[in-house]
Amino acid sequence: MKIYFVRHGESVGNKKGLFQTAEMPLSPTGIKQAQRVAKRLKDHKIDLICASTHTRTRQTAEIVSKEIHAPVEYWNELTELRNPSQMAGKPMNDPEADKIKNLIKENFTKEDWKFSDEETFSEVNARAEKIIRHLLQKKSEQNIVCVSHASITKAIIGRMVFGKDLTAQIFKDIRYHFWTTNTGITVCEYGKDKIWGITSWNDSSHL
């Protein structure tokens, strides 16, 4: 089994430097990026595309699907980590939103700490485990493109590598130090030894 994790193309929120909402679409640059990654994936045998239900990932997946002629399944589980609603749509440099972001980052490893309605590590860890289990139980014979987002992809890969030993601190380190590019491709393979291997990280040579 081979999974091609693809981050969505540049969104309007990315372009404007905003904390994103689910409805923000691709920018004109994001559409071009999606077209380029679609042509790149055409050379691979892909059985299925799984995509987040957010607008920017749906658009990216539809462009890829049209090029490689693979069906798309939309999964709520593949959506991005949920930020506090107080941050949604605000500029990244908004003082209050920036303060909230820093508070969450500082306290992320504290199991009993929560600012408001954001997703905690235990919640995203459980979601990542559910995604992996579903892939292995239902689609283990397929090669799949997962069109998703930066942080949830890192959570999934963290869970693949560390399993039940994944901690909030390990995930935090992965999240903030393993950078990804819009439409960057990260490839993971599940071998006969039942171990996941990362064969490529954030390959953006198509851009």
- Looking at residue 139, what is its pLDDT? 84
Return the residue matching tokens 């980590």.
81
- Provide mean pLDDT across the span 30-46: 96
Structure tokens belonging to residue 205: 């040579």
CA 89 to chain centre: 19
Domain count, the chain: 1
Per residue in 18-27, pLDDT (tens digit) is 999 999 999 9
Indicate if the pLDDT at residue 49 is higher than 90: yes
pLDDT band at residue 177 using 50, 70 and 90 as cut-offs: very high
Per residue in 105-159, pLDDT (tens digit) is 999 999 889 999 999 999 999 999 999 999 999 888 899 999 999 999 999 999 9
Specify the amino acid at residue 183: T
Per residue in 50-88, pLDDT (tens digit) is 999 999 999 999 999 999 999 999 999 999 999 999 999
- Looking at residue 192, what is its pLDDT? 86
- Looking at residue 112, what is its pLDDT? 86
2 forms beta bridges with 143, 189
Mean pLDDT for the chain overall: 96
Q: Strand 48-52 vs strand 143-148: parallel, antiparallel, or unpaired?
A: parallel
Per residue in 179-198, pLDDT (tens digit) is 999 999 999 999 889 999 99
- Provide mean pLDDT across the span 1-22: 97
Q: What CATH number does residue 135 fall under?
A: 3.40.50.1240
Q: Please give the radius of gyration of the chain, using alpha carbons only, rounded to the nearest integer.
A: 17
Structure tokens belonging to residue 200: 């490529």
Q: Which domain holds residue 19?
A: 2-203
SS3 of residue 46 by DSSP: coil
